[in-house]
């Protein structure tokens, strides 16, 4: 088995709202090998997004160890986590979350602002990413001038442009029609197979999950394997 | 600079709102520039006389109260005083009250001796002035303003002094020459000046004969001005006409303050304007950041740190305020000639605009900091919860 890019050991996540404490993840242990495309499925409230947030370094666990791309995330402060995210992870969301006032190219350039690349290099890299996802001809268009599928491609280009080791996708096809959804999923599959990107994707859609190499199911804050809690 | 396109695009995210906010701040800074310029002009007045060697002696209790002309001899006798002359406020205008003329009755010998080398007058015209009882020397700028020519007879209306012969407030002078000043910093202060003979004034007026408005003295050693002032005032202590002697600059300030504490009034207006502006711009910035919470969360998701997000929001506020300040202050600078027309004889300076940029930065920090702190403290997971 190849080296794990994501490794979780006995991870708990609790949210406290006033006097109430909600246990979202309980003693979760998981390994995702480098280069794998994993679909994370489960009913609403099962903890999929929380798990994704932890893997992507957007949140920290209440207990347990999380190692992603060789870095213990549970030991990092918010500043170090931000720097780690910039270097190692790309995010794709259901509603694209592009900056509405920036062109597609400027949106894709955003992560590169945190690097030392020159303006010309940033532009070249952004165009390369847009070309890779097949939307270079829309580089000057703003998000409101793009279809859902096109906007999601721009979002994927933004996630890819800094060449992260891991792509984290939260319902990337949830807002798309079947055709656009399939195009996006094929694109993710191509990035996984041809460019070796590790991908963790949350989805409700069984058809979308079929594009992944492995499906993981969650329920009540724990992983199920063949219908059994692990 | 690499963040500029992002900050600029964010600033114009809601074009109409940004435009109106920008216009409000521009108008505020236009007002700021104009009022600050006027305030500067009143707090840094040109004295109308050159050098630090001039003292002005007035009645101790008010510059509107007269002093006897005989005091000149006593002032001249004070050690350190090189020359003394006397002047009265004539309060004149030409044809209409808006055509203010700084007409001064002066004793030609002592006045031009005291101001030796300060005025540029041809010998011929100076001689004509000395020889003509109703003669007047007029500043070249004033000649140009009213289209006067040497040889013209000009009537001036005094707001104070009636003539003994017919109780008329109208006095007629013969323009026999023109003058300019050597020191360019005094050009504006002298630009409305018309000089005429004190004897004509004193003999022609129906009241106040033998009185003067103030004395002007030139001292031999400016470093002794304070001691000489004290000596002059000591001469008249406990007399019916006690005096107050002060440097020419202080006198000009006191003269201006007759109209009230202009600086306080202007600062009060500016304070009210900026207080209103704080609410307006602050509210706009807060609203703008509130609407962009998901976008700010995305920036953080992409790896922008808390400090970076704070700086971006502050930079946006700074950009808005500085652009508006530059435009507003530039407009007020362009309006200087118009203000000058309304404040004749007062020297205006664009240096007064410098505090405007400081005010812009301060405004940007005050209105930008609360939303910037809010953006900095933003929790990514919470902010994205409704926008996945």
The 10s digit of each residue's pLDDT in A99-148 is 999 999 999 999 999 999 999 999 999 999 999 999 999 999 999 999 99
Determine the Cα–Cα distance for residues A165 and B135; give it in Å rounded to an integer: 95
Q: Which residues of chain A have pLDDT under 50?
A: 226-230
Residues of B in contact with A97 (CB under 8 A): 294-295, 298, 301, 384, 387-388
R_g (Cα) of chain A, nearest Å: 17
- Which member of B3, B304, B387 has the closest CB to residue A82? B304
HSE-CB at A102 with a 13 A cutoff on CA atoms is 23
Pairing of strands A37-41, A214-219: parallel
Residue B386 pLDDT: 59
Please tell me the distance from the alpha carbon of residue B341 to that of residue B262, in angstroms, as a whole number.
18
Mean pLDDT of the region B240-249: 88
How much is the pLDDT for B247?
86
Determine the Cα–Cα distance for residues A69 and A56; give it in Å rounded to an integer.
11
**Predicted confidence band of residue B256 (pLDDT cuts 50, 70, 90):** low
| Minimal C-alpha gap between A123 and chain B (Å) | 12
pLDDT band at B257, cuts 50/70/90?
low
Q: Which of A36-40, B76-80, B248-252 has the lowest mean pLDDT?
A: B248-252
CA distance A1 to chain B (A): 31
Give the integer Cα–Cα distance in Å for A203 and A48: 9
pLDDT confidence bin for B43, thresholds 50/70/90 = low
Q: In the predicted model, what is the mean pLDDT of residues B32-58? A: 72
> pLDDT: is B146 or B384 the higher one?
B146
When CB atoms are compared, the residue of B5, B303, B307 closest to A85 is B303
Strand partners, A167: A90, A199
The whole-number pLDDT of residue A13 equals 94
Q: Which residue of A has its CA nearest to B301?
A: A58
Cβ(B86)–Cβ(B107) under 8 Å? yes
Element (H, E) at A208: helix A206-209
Closest-CA distance of chain A to residue B274, Å:
30
Mean pLDDT of chain B: 87
The interface pTM score, or ipTM, of the predicted complex is: 0.91
Label residue B167 exposed, middle or buried (CB < 10 Å: 0-12, 13-18, 19+).
exposed
Question: Which residues face B120 on adjacent strands?
Answer: B180
Could you tell me which of A205, A223, A181, A176 has the C-alpha nearest to residue A25?
Answer: A223
Q: Which residue of B has its CA nearest to A79?
A: B305
pLDDT tops 50 at residue B127:
yes
* B350 or B155, which is more confident: B155
Within 13 Å, how many C-alpha atoms sit on residue B23's CB side? 5
CB A12 within 8 A of CB A207: no
Instruction: Pick the residue of B2, B302, B312, B381 with the most A CBs within 10 A to test the interface with A by mutation.
Output: B302
- CB atoms B388 and A82 under 8 Å: no
Q: Do B303 and A94 touch (CB under 8 A)?
A: no
CA of B28, closest CA in chain A: separation in Å? 28
Taking CA B200 as the corner, what is the angle to CA B195 and CA B204, rounded to the nearest 5 degrees?
Answer: 130
- Per residue in B159-216, pLDDT (tens digit) is 999 999 899 999 999 999 999 988 877 777 788 899 999 999 999 999 999 999 999 9
- Pick the closest to residue B48 from B262, B260, B346, B258 (CA basis): B346
Residues of chain A with Cβ-Cβ distance to B384 below 8 Å are: 58, 93, 97
Assess B293–A contact: CB distance below 8 Å, yes or no: no
- Note whether B167 contacts A: Cβ–Cβ < 8 A: no
DSSP 8-state secondary structure symbol assigned to residue B43: H
Q: How far is CA A146 from the centre of its chain?
A: 22
The per-residue pLDDT for B304 is 95
* Residue B275 clears pLDDT 70, i.e. is over it: yes
Per-residue burial over B258-289, b if 16 or more Cβ lie within 10 Å, else e, is eeeebeeebeeebeebbeebeebbbebbeebb
Helix (H, G, I), strand (E, B) or coil at A140: coil
Q: Greater confidence, B263 or A144?
A: A144
% of chain B surpassing 70 pLDDT:
90
Question: Does B47 score more than 60 pLDDT?
Answer: no
Residue B301 with chain A: CB contacts under 8 Å = 56, 58, 85, 91, 97
pTM comes to: 0.71
DSSP assignment of A49-87, as one string? HHHHHHHTTSS--SEEEEEETTEEGGG--HHHHHHHHHH
* pLDDT > 90? residue B32: no
- Rounded-to-5 percentages of helix, strand, coil across chain B: 55, 20, 30
Contacts of B381 in chain A (CB under 8 A): 53, 58-59
Cα separation values, B198 from A34, A44, B123, Å: 103, 100, 20
pLDDT band at B52 (very low <50, low <70, confident <90, very high): low
DSSP state of B151: T
Q: What distance in Å separates the CA atoms of residue B10 and residue A86, rounded to the nearest whole number?
A: 21
Q: Is residue B13 less than 8 Å (CB to CB) from chain A? A: yes
Assess whether pLDDT exceeds 60 at residue B46: no
Residue B174, phi then psi, degrees to nearest 5: -100, 120
Q: How confident is the model at residue B85 (pLDDT cuts 50, 70, 90)?
A: very high
Is the torsion defined by CA of B181, B184, B186, B187 positive or negative? positive
Max distance between CA atoms of chain B, in angstroms, equals 95
Closest residue by Cα to residue A8 from A181, A222, A159, A225: A222
């Amino acid at each position: 088995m190849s080296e794990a890019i994501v490794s979780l050991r006995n991870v708990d996540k609790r949210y406290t709202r006033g006097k109430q404490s909600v246990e979202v993840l309980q003693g979760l242990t998981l390994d995702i090998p480098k280069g794998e495309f994993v679909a994370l499925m489960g009913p609403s409230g099962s903890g999929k997004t929380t798990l994704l947030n932890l893997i992507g370094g957007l949140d920290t666990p209440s207990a347990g160890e999380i190692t992603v791309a060789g870095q213990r995330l549970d030991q990092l402060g918010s500043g170090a986590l931000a720097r780690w995210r910039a270097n190692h992870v790309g995010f794709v969301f259901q509603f694209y979350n592009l900056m509405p006032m920036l062109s597609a190219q400027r949106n894709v350039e955003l992560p590169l602002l945190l690097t030392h690349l020159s303006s010309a290099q940033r532009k070249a890299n952004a165009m390369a990413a847009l070309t890779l996802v097949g939307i270079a001809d829309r580089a000057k268009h703003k998000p409101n001038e793009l279809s859902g599928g096109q906007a999601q491609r721009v979002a994927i280009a933004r996630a890819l442009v800094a060449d992260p080791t891991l792509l984290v996708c939260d319902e990337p096809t949830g807002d798309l029609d079947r055709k656009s959804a399939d195009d996006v999923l094929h694109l993710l599959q191509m990035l996984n197979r041809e460019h070796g990107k590790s991908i963790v994707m949350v989805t409700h859609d069984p058809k979308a999950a079929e594009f992944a190499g492995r499906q993981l199911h969650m329920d009540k804050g724990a992983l199920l394997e063949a219908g059994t809690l692990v | 600079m690499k963040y500029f396109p992002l900050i600029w695009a964010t600033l114009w995210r809601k074009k109409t709102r940004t435009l109106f906010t920008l216009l409000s701040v521009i108008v505020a800074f236009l007002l700021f520039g104009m009022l600050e310029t006027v305030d500067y002009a009143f707090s840094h007045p040109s004295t109308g006389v050159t050098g630090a060697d001039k003292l002005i002696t007035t009645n101790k209790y008010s510059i509107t109260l007269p002093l006897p002309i005989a005091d000149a001899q006593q002032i001249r006798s004070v050690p350190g005083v090189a020359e003394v002359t006397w002047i009265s406020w004539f309060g004149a205008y030409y044809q209409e009250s808006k055509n203010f003329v700084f007409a001064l009755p002066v004793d030609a010998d002592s006045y031009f001796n005291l101001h030796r080398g300060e005025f540029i007058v041809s010998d011929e015209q100076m001689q004509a002035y000395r020889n003509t009882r109703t003669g007047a020397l007029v500043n070249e700028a004033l000649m140009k303003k009213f289209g006067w020519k040497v040889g013209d007879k000009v009537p001036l209306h005094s707001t104070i002094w009636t003539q003994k012969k017919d109780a008329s407030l109208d006095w007629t002078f013969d323009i026999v020459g023109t003058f300019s000043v050597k020191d360019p910093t005094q050009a504006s202060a002298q630009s409305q000046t018309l000089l005429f003979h004190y004897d004509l004034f004193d003999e022609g007026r129906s009241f106040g004969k033998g009185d003067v408005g103030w004395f002007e003295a030139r001292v031999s050693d400016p470093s002794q001005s304070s001691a000489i002032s004290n000596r002059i005032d000591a001469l008249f202590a406990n007399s019916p006409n006690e005096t107050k002697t002060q440097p020419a600059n202080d006198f000009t300030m006191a003269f201006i303050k007759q109209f009230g504490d202009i600086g306080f009034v202007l600062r009060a207006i500016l304070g009210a304007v900026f207080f209103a502006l704080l609410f307006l711009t602050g509210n706009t910035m807060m609203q703008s950041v509130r609407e962009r919470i998901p976008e700010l969360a995305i920036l953080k998701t992409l790896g922008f740190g808390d400090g970076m997000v704070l700086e971006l929001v502050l930079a946006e506020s700074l950009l808005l305020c500085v652009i508006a300040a530059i435009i507003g202050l530039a407009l007020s600078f362009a309006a200087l000639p118009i203000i000058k027309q309304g404040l004749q004889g007062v020297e205006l300076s664009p240096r007064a605009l410098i505090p405007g940029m400081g005010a812009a930065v301060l405004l940007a920090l005050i209105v930008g900091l609360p939303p910037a702190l809010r953006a900095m403290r933003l929790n990514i997971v919470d902010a994205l919860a409704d926008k996945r």
